[in-house]
Amino acid sequence: PERPGNRREAGETELGYLFLPEAWGRGYATEACAAALDWFAGALPGEPVVLYTQTANVRSMRLAAKLGVTELERFEAYGAEQWFGVWSSITPSG
């Protein structure tokens, strides 16, 4: 289903994760997500990957930053502020 706004142009592939509380803080999410993004970069070079999380989820926001996900916007949905970002294996040349 479409999300609020016009976010589909940012990318069709979404990175998602869910860990039990017992696994939090052990680096598993960073390791698993980095491996998934590395694989994706090889399989579909240059294709963006999107990530959504609630801004109240501080750990998820920190993970997104570690992974190099760039914030595109924040919006209200599901009764809370949401965060939307995009990751790409191609870095802009400056």
Report the CATH number that the domain containing residue 39 is assigned in CATH.
Answer: 3.40.630.30
Q: Is residue 5 part of a domain?
A: no
Q: Residue 60 is encoded by which pair of tokens? A: 């998820």
Query: Can you name the residues that pair with 84 across neighbouring β-strands?
Result: 52, 73
Q: Is residue 94 part of a domain?
A: no
Q: Is residue 6 part of a domain?
A: no
Domain that holds residue 69: 11-87
Please give the model's pTM, rounded to 2 decimal places.
0.81
> What is residue 15's predicted lDDT score, i.e. its pLDDT?
94
SS (H, E, C) 40-69: HHHHCCCCCEEEEEECCCHHHHHHHHHHCC
Mean pLDDT of 26-40: 95
Predicted confidence (pLDDT) per residue in 3-23, tens digit: 555 455 556 899 999 999 999
Q: Is residue 23 part of a domain?
A: yes
